[in-house]
C-alpha cells in the first residue's frame, strides 16, 4: 500500500455534493493548500452561452468565433459566419475587452476548459460550445483568471469538476463550483501587465508576418490580384476530360486558371514543386490505441499544423519505444509539413530539432535550392491554396496525394528577395516567442503564489537586437 493516498469521506458528504461524486480522485485532490480560495460562483459578474445557430463558410451574416480561433491565450479572427441570428442577438453576444471565453464541451477532455482573453473590443459573437465570463475585477481580473485556468492548478480544478459521458463537459454551473485562489492586487496588476504586453507582441508579430506575405505577393506580381468570380467556364471534351481526366465542373473554375497563368508568366520562370524537394515522406499510421497524454513523443497530426508553426499544446503522444517505427517520419529542423486531408495544403516549418514524429496524411519534405520558410509561405498563399484546392475538389473527404503536391508549379523568386521575406518571417516568429515567454511567466507567477513561495520577476534589460532584424534594416 506504500505510495497510495487515501482520505476518509462520509456518505453524507457525498450526498451533500449535488452531483453525488464517488470518484476517489475528486475527494483526494487538494490543489490550493497554501492559498485562500473562493468559489467560482463568487467571482462571476456575468456569464453567457454562445449561439447554437448553424455556421457557414460564406462571409454572410455575423462572424462567429470558435475554439479553432483561439490564438495562444487570445482570440483570432473568426473563419465562420452565421446569418440566422438577429442584430439584437448579435449585440447581446458581441465580445468586448476583458471577456474570458471558455470551452465548455469537446470530445477531447484536454480541450475542455481551454480559455482565451478578449484583449480588445471586437465585432464577433461566439459559438455555443463556448461560454463567456466577466469576472468581478475587484476579486480577480480577466488576465489573472485566464492565467489561473491555464496553469496546472486551474487544470486540476477543471478536470475535477468536468463531467464525462460521450463528451466531456465543463459548464458554467461547473465553473461555479471550482476553487479560485485569491491573489493580491499587486499580483493581479502584474499578471494583467504581462498579458497585455504579450498581446501587443503577438499583434506586432502578426503585422510583420503580413508584411512578409505582402512582399511575397508583390515579388510575384500578385499584390493587387483579384481572381475571376465567374462560376462557369466552357471547355470542349478534348480540353477537359481528355487533357486532365477530370469531369467535375469545379476543377475548371476560371479563378484556378487565372492563378496558374500568373505563375507561368512570372519573369523569373517557374518549376514543379518536386524540383525543390530533397527528400520527403508521407507520415506513418501510428495506432491510436497506443496514444498517451504525456511522457512520450509528440505526434504531429493535421490539427497541429498552423501557418504560424506547429501548435503542440493539444498533441497526443506515442510511447518512446515507438519513435523508431518509421525513422523517415521523425521531423527535423527546417522540414516543411503539408496536410494531405481535410484542410489540404496547410503548411508550416519545423522550428527546431526535437523528438516529434509525423502521423499519416502529412507530407514531410526537406527543401533544396529554396528557403523553406518562403516555400511554406508560398504553399499557404493563393498560389498553393488554389492549385491544391483545385486538385482536391470533387470528393466527400478532401484528399490529395504526394504526387499532387509535387506537381504544383512554384515561381522562382530571386534569392535576395527570399532572404528579405525569410528575415521578416523570422522576426515575426521571434516576437511570437517573446509573447509566449510573457504568458509562461504569468503562469509561473500564479503557480508560485499558489505554492506559497512566490516567484522572482525576471529583470528585463535592453535586449540584444536579433541578427535577422539587423538584416531587414540593412536590406
Tally of domains within the chain: 2
Report helix angle 372-380 to 185-220, nearest 10.
80
Residues 133 and 51 reside in one and the same domain: yes
- Give dist(CA 376, CA 346) in Å, integer: 9
Residues 257 and 150 reside in one and the same domain: no
Q: What is the dihedral of CA 430, 434, 439, 441, to 10 degrees?
A: 140
Residues 176 and 228 reside in one and the same domain: no
Residues 158 and 239 reside in one and the same domain: no
User: Helices marked H in 252-314 — which ranges?
Assistant: 254-264
> In this structure, are residues 180 and 38 in contact, taking their beta carbons and an 8 Å threshold?
yes
Against a cut of 0.85, is the pTM above it?
no
152's grid cell:
496546472
Whether the pLDDT of residue 383 is over 80: the answer is yes
Whether the pLDDT of residue 211 is over 70: the answer is yes
Q: Is residue 445 part of a domain?
A: no
Give the domain extent around 58: 33-182
Confidence of residue 107 (pLDDT cuts 50, 70, 90): confident
Q: What is the pLDDT of residue 455?
A: 44
- Give dist(CA 458, CA 205) in Å, integer: 22
Whether the pLDDT of residue 91 is over 70: the answer is yes
Q: Which of 394, 412, 430 is the last residue of a domain?
A: 412
Q: What is the pLDDT of residues 24-66, one digit of tens each?
A: 555 455 555 557 899 999 999 999 999 999 999 899 999 999 9
Residues 57 and 156 reside in one and the same domain: yes
**Mean of the per-residue pLDDT values for the chain?**
88
Which of 144, 387, 109, 366 has its CA nearest to residue 251?
Answer: 387
Q: What is the pLDDT of residue 11?
A: 59
| Residues constituting the chain | 475
Residues 380 and 232 reside in one and the same domain: yes
How far, in Å, are 30, 31, 141, 305, 407 from residue 451 at the CA level? 12, 9, 20, 35, 56
**DSSP annotation string for 100-163:** EEEE-EESSTTTTT-EEE--S--S-EEBTTEEEEEE-TTT--HHHHHHHHHSHHHHHHHHHH-E
Residues 63 and 145 reside in one and the same domain: yes
Q: What is the pLDDT of residue 250?
A: 86
Q: Which of 381, 412, 443 is the last residue of a domain?
A: 412
SS (H, E, C) 337-378: EEECECCCCCEEECCCCCCCEEECCEEEEEECCCCHHHHHHH
Residues 146 and 228 reside in one and the same domain: no
Strands 168-169 and 105-106, by their bridges, are antiparallel
Whether the pLDDT of residue 470 is over 80: the answer is no
Among 328-332, 357-361, 374-378, 450-454, the least confident range: 450-454
Q: Which of 378, 412, 446 is the last residue of a domain?
A: 412
What is the sign of the dihedral through the CA atoms of 172, 176, 182 and 185?
positive
- Give dist(CA 311, CA 190) in Å, integer: 27
- Give dist(CA 42, CA 58) in Å, integer: 41
Q: Is residue 43 part of a domain?
A: yes
Q: Which residues contact 233 (CB under 8 A, 6 or more apart)?
A: 249, 252, 253, 254, 257
Q: What is the pLDDT of residue 368?
A: 97
Q: Is residue 10 part of a domain?
A: no
Which of 270, 418, 385, 277 has its CA nearest to residue 336?
Answer: 277
Q: What is the pLDDT of residue 238?
A: 80
CATH of the domain at 87: 3.90.220.20
Share of residues in the chain with pLDDT > 90 (%): 69
Q: What is the pLDDT of residues 414-439, one digit of tens each?
A: 999 999 999 999 999 999 999 999 99
Whether the pLDDT of residue 465 is over 90: the answer is no
Whether the pLDDT of residue 110 is over 90: the answer is no
Distance of CA 192 to the CA centre of its chain: 22
Q: Is residue 319 part of a domain?
A: yes
Q: What is the pLDDT of residues 130-156, one digit of tens each?
A: 999 999 999 999 999 999 999 999 999
Residues 230 and 172 reside in one and the same domain: no
Q: Is residue 50 part of a domain?
A: yes
Average pLDDT of span 347-367: 93
How far, in Å, are 45, 204, 250, 422, 469 from residue 430 at the CA level? 37, 11, 40, 12, 10
Residues 110 and 234 reside in one and the same domain: no
Residues 279 and 353 reside in one and the same domain: yes
Q: What is the pLDDT of residues 249-306, one digit of tens each?
A: 888 888 999 999 999 999 999 999 999 999 999 999 999 899 987 789 999 999 899 8
Distance of CA 33 to the CA centre of its chain: 33
Q: What is the pLDDT of residue 14?
A: 52
- Give dist(CA 182, CA 159) in Å, integer: 20
Q: What is the pLDDT of residue 312?
A: 85
Q: Is residue 194 part of a domain?
A: no
Q: Is residue 171 part of a domain?
A: yes
Residues 176 and 101 reside in one and the same domain: yes
Q: Which residues pair with 292 in a beta bridge?
A: 317
Q: Is residue 5 part of a domain?
A: no
Q: What is the pLDDT of residue 27?
A: 44
Share of residues in the chain with pLDDT > 70 (%): 87
Amino acid at each position: 500500500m506504500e505510495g497510495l493516498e487515501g482520505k476518509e469521506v462520509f456518505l453524507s458528504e457525498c450526498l451533500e455534493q449535488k452531483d453525488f461524486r464517488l470518484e476517489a480522485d475528486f475527494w483526494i485532490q487538494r490543489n490550493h493548500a497554501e492559498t485562500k480560495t473562493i468559489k467560482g460562483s463568487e467571482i462571476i459578474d456575468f456569464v453567457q452561452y454562445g449561439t447554437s445557430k448553424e455556421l457557414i463558410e460564406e462571409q454572410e451574416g455575423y462572424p462567429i468565433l470558435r475554439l479553432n480561433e483561439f490564438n495562444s491565450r487570445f482570440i483570432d479572427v473568426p473563419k465562420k459566419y452565421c446569418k440566422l441570428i438577429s442584430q439584437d442577438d448579435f449585440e447581446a453576444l458581441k465580445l468586448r475587452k476583458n471577456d474570458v471565453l471558455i470551452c465548455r464541451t469537446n470530445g477531447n477532455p484536454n480541450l475542455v476548459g481551454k480559455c482565451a482573453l478578449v484583449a480588445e473590443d471586437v465585432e464577433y459573437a461566439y459559438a455555443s460550445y463556448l461560454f463567456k465570463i466577466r469576472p468581478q475585477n475587484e476579486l480577480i481580473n480577466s488576465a489573472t483568471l485566464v492565467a489561473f485556468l491555464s496553469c496546472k492548478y486551474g487544470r486540476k480544478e477543471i478536470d475535477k469538476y468536468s463531467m464525462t459521458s460521450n463528451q466531456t463537459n465543463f459548464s458554467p454551473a461547473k465553473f461555479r463550483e471550482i476553487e479560485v485562489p485569491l491573489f493580491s492586487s499587486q499580483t493581479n496588476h502584474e499578471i494583467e501587465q504581462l498579458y497585455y504586453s504579450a498581446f501587443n507582441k503577438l499583434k506586432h508579430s502578426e503585422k510583420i508576418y503580413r508584411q512578409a506575405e505582402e512582399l511575397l505577393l508583390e515579388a510575384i506580381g500578385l499584390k493587387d490580384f483579384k481572381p475571376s468570380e465567374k462560376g462557369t467556364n466552357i471547355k470542349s471534351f478534348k480540353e477537359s476530360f481528355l487533357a486532365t481526366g477530370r469531369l467535375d465542373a469545379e476543377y475548371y473554375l476560371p479563378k484556378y486558371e487565372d492563378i496558374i497563368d500568373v505563375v507561368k508568366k512570372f519573369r523569373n520562370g517557374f518549376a514543379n514543386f518536386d524540383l525543390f524537394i530533397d527528400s520527403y515522406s508521407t507520415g506513418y499510421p501510428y495506432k491510436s490505441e497506443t496514444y498517451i497524454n504525456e511522457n512520450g513523443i509528440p505526434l504531429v497530426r493535421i490539427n497541429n499544423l498552423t501557418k504560424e508553426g506547429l501548435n503542440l499544446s493539444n498533441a497526443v503522444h506515442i510511447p518512446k519505444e515507438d519513435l523508431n517505427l518509421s525513422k523517415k517520419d521523425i521531423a527535423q529542423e527546417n522540414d516543411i509539413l503539408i496536410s494531405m486531408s481535410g484542410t489540404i495544403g496547410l503548411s508550416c516549418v519545423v522550428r527546431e530539432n526535437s523528438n516529434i514524429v509525423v502521423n499519416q496524411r502529412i507530407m514531410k519534405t526537406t527543401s533544396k535550392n529554396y528557403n523553406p520558410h518562403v516555400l511554406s509561405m508560398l504553399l499557404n498563399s493563393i498560389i498553393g491554396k488554389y492549385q491544391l484546392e483545385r486538385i482536391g475538389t470533387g470528393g466527400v473527404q478532401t484528399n490529395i496525394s504526394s504526387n499532387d503536391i509535387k506537381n504544383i508549379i512554384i515561381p522562382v523568386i530571386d534569392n535576395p528577395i527570399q532572404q528579405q521575406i525569410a528575415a521578416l518571417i523570422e522576426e515575426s516568429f521571434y516576437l511570437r516567442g517573446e509573447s509566449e515567454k510573457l504568458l509562461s511567466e504569468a503562469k509561473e507567477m500564479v503557480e508560485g503564489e499558489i505554492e506559497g513561495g512566490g516567484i522572482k520577476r525576471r529583470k528585463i534589460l535592453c535586449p540584444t537586437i536579433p541578427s535577422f532584424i539587423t538584416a531587414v534594416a540593412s536590406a
